[in-house]
Amino acid sequence: MTTRTDAGAPHRARRLRPGRAGSAIALGAVLLLLAGGLGWRLTRGVEEFGAGTGLGPATSVQARLAADAGVPVAAGRLPGTPAVPPLRLEIPAIKVTAPVDAVGLDQATGEVDLPRDVDTVGWYRYGPDLGSTAGSVTIAGHVDGAAQGKGAFFRLREVPAGARVVVFGSDGAPRSFTVVSREVFAKTAMPMDRLFARDGRLRLTLITCGGPFDRKTRHYRDNVVLTAVPIGVFQGK
């Protein structure tokens, strides 16, 4: 008798009451749904638009000269055209105003040598400047920095089509651009020749990092790229 009673009691105790089982199912389902939704939001990536627009051929003075029949003759002197470097960048859509430094290359890696300060963005000084009439004025900025937190271009991936970007040159004049494309490229598959082109339509190319972050190498997998084209016509050199 006693053995049967003893055996029955633990058996009953192991069993969840019907209400608890239902609650567990509901809670588990909610947690999983939440995980699914958050997972989608976290990994959905940056929505791209307008890929490849804003490029096109430039109608430059050089192209017109080439169309002429005559042979161009130039003085045997080095061209003395001073560049118009950008000094300040404004993107009202994401409330960004950032100083712009002229940057070159990291000699060790051959990569663009961005400013140390993540709130300052870098203009690739070997490429076209604000006085150029063709090619890509390319400005790269940090999405974040290990020691400094969010960078000037943290929200670059949120800038919508048609947003205005204003760049102030060393001559003090503002140039307005309108965003026509947002693209994401794996760093191993960047169309670098296009992003740093010195020919084709004059445009502004803004680059930052994005995509999954590798905590071991401390690198992002992708680059987020915005292309913006000039609003109106401003004086080229």
Partner 1 sequence: MYCKLVGAVAGAVAAAATVLGPATPALAAQTSQVFVVHGIPGQAVDVYVNGDKVLSDFQPATVAGPLSLAAGSYDIVLTRPGDPISSPLLEVNDAMVPADQNLSLVAHLSVGGSPSLTPFVNDTSVVAAGKARLIVRHTAAAPAVDVRAGGQPVFRGLTNPNEVKADIAAGTVSADVVLAGTDTVVIGPADLNLAEGTATIVYAIGSAQDRTLAIITQVLTGLHSAPGGVPAGSAGLADQSLPAWWYAMAGAGALVLLGGVVAATRRFRPASPR
Enumerate residues 82-111 that contact partner 1 by CB under 8 A.
104-105, 107, 109-111
Choose which of 208, 226, 228, 230 interacts with partner 1 (CB under 8 A): 208
| Choice between 76 and 232, CB closer to partner 1 | 76
Residue 182, interface with partner 1 (CB under 8 A)? Answer: no
Tell me if residue 223 falls in helix, strand or coil.
strand
In sequence order, the 6+-apart residues with CB closer than 8 A to the CB of 155 are 94, 96
Choose which of 6, 47, 52, 62 interacts with partner 1 (CB under 8 A): 62
In sequence order, the 6+-apart residues with CB closer than 8 A to the CB of 87 are 99, 100, 168, 169, 170
Choose which of 166, 199, 234, 236 interacts with partner 1 (CB under 8 A): 199
CA distance 29 to 63: 65
Range in contact with partner 1 (rule: CB under 8 A) among 75-83, 88-96, 162-170, 227-235? 75-83
Choose which of 5, 172, 215, 232 interacts with partner 1 (CB under 8 A): 215
CA distance 110 to 89: 25
Which 12-51 positions form the footprint of partner 1 (CB under 8 A)? 15-16, 18, 20-32, 34-36, 38-39, 42-45
CA distance 107 to 227: 27
- The phi, psi pair for 79, rounded to 5°, reads -65, 135
| Choice between 24 and 51, CB closer to partner 1 | 24
Choose which of 84, 130, 140, 180 interacts with partner 1 (CB under 8 A): 140
| Choice between 152 and 167, CB closer to partner 1 | 152
DSSP letter, residue 131: T
CA distance 93 to 165: 9
